């Protein structure tokens, strides 16, 4: 019982990180109907930016953790947002009227370019960070096994839930959200109504990249080690979470992330850790066989 509860806590924490990355995937897909395969690498860039900012602040003598994390978050999210804007301008906007495979190939190329850029700039070795938010509390103990909940796990859960609520409100209640939903339904008619489609799509990429940077900071603080390849691994899992939850649904992205995180945690704890990815993708296949649009997705209506 105690071991299962600990794996549940670990799975929820991991799933929240996946879900936060998946929100960026699903926001972009909701507008242009295409998956930004460079999004996982923006998450990786955000993690490296966070490490650089924390190291620089430490050298400047800013060691008060809340202030350092706040400044790091602003720095990483701001620079990552520029990456997102650049990806949209370079990899997507020139190919928006082309056949659907062209932007996909362009995004994969951008992903490879970001990976190699990080490898050349930061090296291929793992970069480590000392624990900045230590401690937690014991939930209970059973047969010598202590179930613990760390403060970092609480922070990850609270931040993800808060951001999900914020961006759900943004999409459903604000003028920008209405413009996003209008672009999703019909870009040509949206532009005829006076909405700047290019600006709306660009802002969506910027917001998604900033969310990826937040996830990168949380990943760095939780695991304390990053490398240039974490973007690919986390990106594939987050994409899987977005598909599982229903691409286009913000709550579905987080629910899909939780599902992937829990599957990985319990499979690693009770079966073989080498096959945890097989288990996660097998569940995805089963769900899509019986629910092709995902858990919370909706069927597309083709306009004729």
pLDDT digits (tens, 9 = 90+) for 173-189: 888 888 888 887 788 88
Run of H or E including 192? helix 187-192
* pLDDT (tens place) for every residue of the chain, 304 residues total: 788 888 889 899 999 999 998 888 888 877 666 778 888 899 999 999 999 999 999 899 888 889 999 999 999 999 999 999 998 888 888 887 777 778 788 888 888 999 999 999 888 888 998 888 888 888 877 777 788 888 999 999 999 999 988 888 888 888 888 888 888 778 888 888 888 888 888 898 999 899 999 999 999 999 999 999 888 888 888 888 888 887 777 888 888 889 888 988 888 888 777 777 787 778 778 877 887 777 776 655 544 4
From CA 164, how far away is CA 186, in angstroms rounded?
A: 25
Contact 212, 43 (CB under 8 A): yes
State which H helix or E strand residue 263 sits in. Answer: helix 250-270
CB atoms within 10 A of CB 168: 16
pTM here? 0.89
Residue ranges of alpha helices (H) inside 33-174 are 39-59, 65-87, 101-122, 151-173
Displacement of CA 225 from its chain's centroid (Å): 17
* Structure letter (DSSP) for residue 275: G
Distance CA 194, CA 30 (A): 20
Rounded Cα–Cα distance for residues 80 and 86 (Å):
10
Q: Domain limits of the chain?
A: 2-229
**What tokens does 224 get?**
């304390």
């Amino acid at each position: 019982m105690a071991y299962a509860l600990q794996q549940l806590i670990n799975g929820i924490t991991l799933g929240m990180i996946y879900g936060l990355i998946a929100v960026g995937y699903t926001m972009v897909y909701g507008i242009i109907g295409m998956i930004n395969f460079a999004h996982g690498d923006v998450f990786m860039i955000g993690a490296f930016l966070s490490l650089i900012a924390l190291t620089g602040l430490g050298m400047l003598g800013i060691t008060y953790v809340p202030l350092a994390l706040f400044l790091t978050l602003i720095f990483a999210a701001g620079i990552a947002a520029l990456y997102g804007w650049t990806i949209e301008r370079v990899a997507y906007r020139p190919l928006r009227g082309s056949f659907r495979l062209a932007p996909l190939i362009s995004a994969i190329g951008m992903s490879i370019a970001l990976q190699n850029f990080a490898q050349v700039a930061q090296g291929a070795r793992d970069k480590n960070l000392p624990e900045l938010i230590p401690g937690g509390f014991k939930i209970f103990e059973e047969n010598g096994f202590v179930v613990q909940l760390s403060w970092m796990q609480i922070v990850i859960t609270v931040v993800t839930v808060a951001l999900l609520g914020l961006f759900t409100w943004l999409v459903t209640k604000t003028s920008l959200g209405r413009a996003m939903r209008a672009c999703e339904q019909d870009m040509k008619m949206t532009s005829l109504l006076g909405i700047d489609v290019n600006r709306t799509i660009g802002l969506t990429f910027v917001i998604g990249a900033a969310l990826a940077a937040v996830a990168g900071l949380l990943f760095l603080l939780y695991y304390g080690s990053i490398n240039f390849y974490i973007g690919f691994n986390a990106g594939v899992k987050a994409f899987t979470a977005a598909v599982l939850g229903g691409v286009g649904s913000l709550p579905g992205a987080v629910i899909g992330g939780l599902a992937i995180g829990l599957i990985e945690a319990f499979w690693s704890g009770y079966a073989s850790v080498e096959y945890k990815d097989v288990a996660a993708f097998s569940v995805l296949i089963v769900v899509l066989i019986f629910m092709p649009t995902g858990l919370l997705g909706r069927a597309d209506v083709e306009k004729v």
